[in-house]
């Protein structure tokens, strides 16, 4: 079945630094990837939709200059949290689907802690 | 009104019982419906997808869809402690194969007691 690898699984960083999270589709071409954020005991909040080769579409209220998304290839999308602050601490999850597929495959998630 | 609403939890059932999880959605244009299971600290995993009115069964899981009532449910028969998790209902406007985004409900936490 479809597999999505997300890395790192957890990261701790100092306030003001930038953190990059990678999402890779291992056995299929991911034409579309989604990035979510989930705070404890809350549901998934979609941050942006990323289509290969084009700019990401951000959800309302998500700062595109703070959360940089790149989807340069059919197997890799990255989310960079720039100038991270403690309030950015959260569980970040990606999901991916191939063209014509009807379900999403989720990565294992990345837990970010900003000190 | 939220786009996708799930019955408030937590839901607790004894082992072997039927767990019933409910979800309503507001957009009549929705065409694709999914149930995901999420264990604490983990990412969601797909349990069921359903696109047509009626029931769809897969092992101990049955998804039920009623588009007229804008309602989708998940039944878990013979509930096991390993079913204890948060269940997320997700709804997508477009056809199953298009690239549209899914909207997730807040989830219902299920606890199955031995």
Band of pLDDT at residue B97, cut at 50, 70 and 90: low
CB-based contact, A99 to chain B, within 8 Å:
yes
- Report pLDDT for A55: 87
Omega of the bond leading into B40 within 30 degrees of 0 (cis): no
How far, CA to CA in Å, does A4 sit from each of A1, A94, B45, B96, B99?
Answer: 10, 8, 12, 20, 17
Across the A:B interface, residue pairs with CB atoms under 8 Å apart total 47
Confirm if B51 and B96 have CB atoms less than 8 A apart.
Answer: yes
How far, CA to CA in Å, does B35 sit from each of B10, B59, B102?
Answer: 17, 14, 11
Nearest residue of chain A to residue B6 (CA atoms): A43
pLDDT (tens digit per residue) in A42-93: 888 999 999 888 889 999 999 999 999 998 888 999 999 999 999 999 999 9
Which has the closest alpha carbon to A34: A110, A101, A111, A105? A105
Inspect the interface and report whether the beta carbons of B43 and A99 lie closer than 8 Å.
no
Which has the closest alpha carbon to B33: B3, B10, B1? B3
Can you tell me the distance from the alpha carbon of A108 to that of B57, in angstroms, rounded to the nearest whole number? Answer: 27
pLDDT (tens digit per residue) in B69-84: 999 999 999 999 999 9
Which has the closest alpha carbon to B49: A101, A25, A107, A49? A101
Other CB atoms within 10 Å distance of the CB of residue A11: 17
């Amino acid at each position: 079945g479809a597999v999505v690898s997300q890395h790192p699984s957890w990261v701790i960083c100092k306030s003001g630094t930038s953190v990059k999270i990678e999402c890779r589709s291992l056995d299929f071409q991911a034409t579309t990837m989604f990035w979510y954020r989930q705070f404890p005991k809350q549901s998934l909040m979609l941050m942006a939709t990323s289509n290969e080769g084009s700019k990401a579409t951000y959800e309302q209220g998500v700062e595109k200059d703070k959360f940089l998304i790149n989807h340069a290839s059919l197997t890799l999308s990255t989310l960079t949290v720039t100038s991270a602050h403690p309030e950015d601490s959260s569980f970040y999850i990606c999901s991916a689907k191939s063209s014509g597929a009807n379900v999403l495959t989720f990565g294992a998630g990345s837990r970010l802690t900003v000190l | 009104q939220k786009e996708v609403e799930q019955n408030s939890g937590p839901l607790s059932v004894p082992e072997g019982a039927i767990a019933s999880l409910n979800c309503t959605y507001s957009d009549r244009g929705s065409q694709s419906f999914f149930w995901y299971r999420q264990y604490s600290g983990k990412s969601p995993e797909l349990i069921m997808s359903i696109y047509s009115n009626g029931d769809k069964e897969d092992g101990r899981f049955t998804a039920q869809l009623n588009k007229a009532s804008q309602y989708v449910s998940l039944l878990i028969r013979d509930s096991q402690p390993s079913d204890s998790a948060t269940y997320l209902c997700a709804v997508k406007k477009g056809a199953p194969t298009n690239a549209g985004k899914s909207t997730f409900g807040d989830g219902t936490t299920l606890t199955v007691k031995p």
